[in-house]
Amino acid sequence: MLKIILVVGARPNFPKVAPIMLEMAKHPHRLRQVLVHTGQHYDYDMSRVFFEDLEMPPPDELLSVGSGSHAVQTAKVMTAFETAAVKHRPDAVVVVGDVNSTLACALVCSKLGVPVAHVEAGLRSRDRTMPEEINRLLTDQLSEMLFTPSRDASDNLLAEGIAPARIHFVGNVMIDTVVRVLPKARQRPVLKDLGLGERGFLLATLHRPSNVDDPAALRAIIEGLVTVSRDTQVIFPVHPRTRSRIQALGVKLPNSSLRLMPPFGYLDFLALMSTASLVVTDSGGVQEETTFLGVQCLTVRPNTERPVTITEGTNRLVGSGYDELVKGIRQSLSLGHGVRPPPELWDGHAASRIVKSFLDR
C-alpha cells in the first residue's frame, strides 16, 4: 500500500486537493492518504468553510505556521512539515499550486528522499518578480511526477529540460471540483439574499500585492469600480486587510452599487461567479473557472501563467490604471456570456488520471 501525504496551505489549494482525495478514497486497499494543512492562511475559520463546502475531512495534521515574510513563512512550513513527514513516513507527497507551502514541502521532501508529485506543474508567467513564479519553477525542478493542466505547461517543462517520462498531461483538476459542486452552488440562496439577478452584476476579487498594497494602483482600481458601478452593481468580496487599505485611501464609495462584502465560501462564490456578467480579478484560479463557465473575465495583471484562458477561454488582461480598467470593463461587458468548448481535458476527470498514475507506478 502506498501512503501519500497531500498538502494544503492556502484556500486556493482546497478545490485542487479535494477531487484527488475523493478519487484516492476509491482505492482504500492500495492508497492511504494523509492530509496536512500547513496553516499558511492562518485564519482557520476562513479555511474551515472550504473544508465544509468541498466535503473534505478535517486535516490529519494542522501545522498552524501563520503569517510572516515569504522567507519566514517558508522556513516555518519547512520546520513543521519535516516533523510531520518523519512521523508519517510517506511513500510520496502531493503538493498543488504555487503558494509558499508548495515549495517549502517540496524542499523538505528533497532532503528526506521522498518523491514529490506537483499538481498544476509547468505554469509560467515569465515574471520572476512574482513570488509564485519562483515557487513554481523550483517546485517543478524538485518533483518526480509533474501533472500539467494544459499542453503549454507540458511544453514549458520540456523546454526547461524536464525528462518527458516525469511529465503527465492530466488536465485541470480544479475543474473537477467545479463540475462536482456547481449544481449544489446553483441552489445556494446567495443571489436572492443579495437581491441580484443573473448576469445583472459584476464580481470583483483582488488580492495580489501589486494591486492592493500599492496605494496608487488600489486607488485607480477602486475609482474605476466606482465609475462602472453607476451602470451595473459591483459585488466585491474583500479580505479585512484589503478593506482597511481601501478605507485608508479615503475614496468616497457609493452606498449601494459598489458593495464591499466579507469573503464568501467556495459554494457561494462559485454561485456568484457562474452568474456574473463579468468577473474582474487577479486570481489565477478564477481565470480558469470563468473560462470553463464561459463567463467574461478581466484579469488586472500585465501577464498570466495561464495563457490557455486567453487563447481558448474568456479571459483578457488589463492594466490597473483607471482609464484602461474602465475601458476594459465596458468592452468586456459588451461581449456578453458565451458558450465555448473548454480547453483539452478540462472535463472533470483530471483527478482520476492523477490517481491512475500512482496506481500504475
The Cα–Cα gap between 81 and 77 comes to 6
Task: For residues 314 and 222, give the distance between their C-alpha atoms in angstroms, rounded to a whole number.
Answer: 23
Q: How far is Cα 284 from Cα 303, in angstroms, rounded to an integer?
A: 11
> 289: which 3 cell numbers?
473557472
Q: What distance in Å separates the CA atoms of residue 121 and residue 152, rounded to the nearest whole number?
A: 11
DSSP code string of 221-244? HHHHHHHHTTTSEEEEE--HHHHH
Cβ atoms within 10 A of the Cβ of 55, count? 12
Q: State the Cα–Cα distance between residues 308 and 94, nearest whole angstrom.
A: 24
Sheet holding 116-119, edge to edge: 61-62, 31-37, 2-8, 92-96, 116-119, 145-148, 167-169
Compute φ and ψ for 332, nearest 5 degrees: -65, -40
3-state secondary structure of 322: helix
Active-site entry in 27, 207, 239, 337: 207
What is d(CA 285, CA 16) in angstroms, rounded to the nearest whole number? 10
Contact 278, 229 (CB under 8 A): no
Q: Which three cell numbers stand for residue 232?
A: 451595473
Give the list of residues 6+ apart from residue 166 with CB closer than 8 angstroms, or none: 143, 144, 145, 146, 157
Helix, strand, coil percentages in the chain from 3-state DSSP, rounded to 5: 50, 15, 35
What is the rounded CA–CA span in Å between residue 48 and residue 52?
6
180 CB burial (10 A radius; 0-12, 13-18, 19+) = middle
70 is catalytic: no
Residues that are catalytic: 207
